């Protein structure tokens, strides 16, 4: 019914019938024979069918046509139901197979009826019913998107409820929130101390040996905060600078230090060892020290201006 309706609406009935007749007459007798006229007519027919299919889809979306179908997957109670017109923006309609398929919803045995000739009261009742059905489908989608509740882990006998879970998720960056730059909060978007020319890619030098030191050395209390491993990272930076082993940009050096700390330190409540910090935290705390230890490295403009400002010069409030 859909294509016949579209052919009438677009006044394509005569053209369609003529093309079909000519295609029948130009059809080759053998599949191996070449017939340029037949191939040309077939392309014209395909283009004509596409125009009709697009007309049907537009009228389904506008509400001039109403689609019915059996929703998939099939169930014992499956029956043809109206398809809300908003779904036609989310599904593809195959009129040859009478199917409509989309990411969340799919239908088979799709049929289309023309409701344009119905009266206004009947159209209002149809629109009201379709709105209720669409709201039901959206509620089902929201219910499927809600993640299942996570199981609560049992606390240790001598610990307070919830304290162990809090300690597990407490990280260096959570203890000291960092202001985010433009874009996402990903480490690769923090351009705090990267040279203006872009420098080398911000990836740690995985091939360099970071040492086989034992993990989880006891960490002393520092200005960086409780359980911080930043003092050990600072010592590593100083020793690398003394040995002239620092990378040629802060972007590469902070990647190496993050890789080194990640292998050397693991969170351990017994030794009060915290998680290794992220690259943005290392750059924030040790960026100035890196350039002081490596004066031959060109600083970004912002850090150059900061370092050239006299200590006793007035600052804007």
Domains in the chain: boundaries: 2-142, 163-308
Question: What is the model's pLDDT at position 224?
Answer: 54
- What 3-state class would DSSP assign to 46? helix
pTM: 0.43
Helix, coil or strand: residue 213:
coil
DSSP state at residue 222? B
Q: What is the pLDDT of residue 218?
A: 42
Ordered per-residue pLDDT tens for the chain, 317 residues:
688 888 888 888 899 899 888 888 888 877 777 788 888 888 999 999 999 999 999 999 998 899 999 999 999 999 999 999 999 999 999 988 999 999 888 999 999 998 888 888 888 888 899 999 889 888 888 888 766 666 555 454 454 444 444 444 444 444 444 444 444 433 433 343 444 444 444 444 444 444 444 444 444 444 555 557 788 888 888 988 888 888 888 888 888 888 888 888 777 666 666 677 787 878 888 888 888 898 888 777 665 555 555 545 454 44
pLDDT at 54: 93
Strand-pairing partners, residue 100, are: 93, 107
pLDDT reported for residue 101: 93
Q: Are residues 56 and 3 in contact, defined by beta-carbon separation less than 8 angstroms?
A: yes
Task: Specify whether the CB–CB gap between 309 and 297 falls below 8 A.
Answer: no
> What is residue 72's predicted lDDT score, i.e. its pLDDT?
93
């Amino acid at each position: 019914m859909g294509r016949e309706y579209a052919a009438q609406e677009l006044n394509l009935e005569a053209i369609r019938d003529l093309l079909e007749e000519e295609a029948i007459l130009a059809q080759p007798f053998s599949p191996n024979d070449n017939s340029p006229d037949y191939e040309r007519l077939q392309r014209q027919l395909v283009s004509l069918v596409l125009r009709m299919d697009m007309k049907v889809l537009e009228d389904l979306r506008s509400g001039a046509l109403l689609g019915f179908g059996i929703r998939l997957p099939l169930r014992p109670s499956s029956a043809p139901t109206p398809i809300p017109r908003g779904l036609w923006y989310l599904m593809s309609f195959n009129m040859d197979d009478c199917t409509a398929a989309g990411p969340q919803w799919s239908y088979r045995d799709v049929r289309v009826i023309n409701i344009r000739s119905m009266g206004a009261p009947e159209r209002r009742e149809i629109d009201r019913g379709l709105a209720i059905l669409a709201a039901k489908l959206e509620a089902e989608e929201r219910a499927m998107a809600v993640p299942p509740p996570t199981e609560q882990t049992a606390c240790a006998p001598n610990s307070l409820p919830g304290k162990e879970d809090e300690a597990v998720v407490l990280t260096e960056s959570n203890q000291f929130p960092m202001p985010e730059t433009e874009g996402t909060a990903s480490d690769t978007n923090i351009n705090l101390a990267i040279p203006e020319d872009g420098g080398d890619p911000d990836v740690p030098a995985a091939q360099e040996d970071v040492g086989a030191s034992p993990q989880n050395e006891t960490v002393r209390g520092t200005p960086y905060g409780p359980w911080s491993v930043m003092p050990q990272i600072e010592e590593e930076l100083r020793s690398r600078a003394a040995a002239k082993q620092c990378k040629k940009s802060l972007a590469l050096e902070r990647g190496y230090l993050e890789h080194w700390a990640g292998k050397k330190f693991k969170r351990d409540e017994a030794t009060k060892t915290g998680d290794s910090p992220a690259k943005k935290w290392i750059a924030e705390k040790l960026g100035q020290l890196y350039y002081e230890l490596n004066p031959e490295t060109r600083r970004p403009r912002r850090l150059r201006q900061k370092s050239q400002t006299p200590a006793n010069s007035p600052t804007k409030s």
